[in-house]
Structures are given as C-alpha cells and as structure tokens.
Amino acid sequence: MKKLVIIMMLLAFVGVNVAIAADSVTYENKKGTVTFDHKTHGETLGDCAKCHEGEPAKIEVDKKSAHGDTCKSCHKEMNGPTKCNDCHKK
C-alpha cells in the first residue's frame, strides 16, 4: 500500500514536470517571429522521443537546425508547414 502511494506521488510529480515544460517558445528574428507550440506538438505527436533523446531537456534551435532536422525535416515527412511564412510571422 505504501509503495502504491509513493508510485502515485511520483506519477503526479512527472505530470507536473510535463505541464511546466515551456508551453510555447518564440524565436524572434528579422524574417519574422516563429512560434513553436511545444505543448501542441507534444500532444499531436504523442511522444516526447520524437524530438528528445533520453530525458527531455533544452534543445538548441538556430537557423540551420530549424530549417533542417530540428523542425522542417519532420514537417516535410508529416505534412507540417514548410513555407517560409507558415513559420515566420511578421
């Protein structure tokens, strides 16, 4: 019984962690602000491991990675947005 309580507390703790991981991140740049909806991506894709290797943590996003493996490559595969202005909003 005590074990069960501990497991449930652990699960609740993990749940809170998932909830507080940045809901949405914006990247400001001269081409136009890109909004990455972290929460929606997590829910739509259903698996943190689609983007995170091992324990989810900060991923560096720059122009090169965003236009490649970190963002756009998956969009190409999964019919996500690939046009400049789909991501960059003035």
Residue 32 and residue 90 in contact, taking contact as beta carbons nearer than 8 Å: yes
Among 9, 12, 16, 63, binds ligand HEC (CB under 6 A): 63
12, 18, 24, 76: which one binds ligand HEC (CB under 6 A): 18
d(CA 43, CA 16): 15
Residue count (the chain): 90
Whether 81 and 87 have beta carbons less than 8 Å apart is answered as: yes
Our CB check for ligand HEC shows the closer of 5 and 60 to be 60
Q: Per CB under 6 A, does 57 bind ligand HEC?
A: yes
Contacts of 43 (CB under 8 A, 6+ apart): none
User: By CB under 6 A, is residue 11 in contact with ligand HEC?
Assistant: no
What are the structure tokens assigned to 45, written together? 């894709």
The footprint of ligand HEC (CB under 6 A) covers 18, 21-22, 25, 27, 29-31, 34-38, 41-42, 44-45, 48, 50-52, 56-59, 61-63, 66-67, 70-72, 74-75, 78, 80-82, 84, 86-88
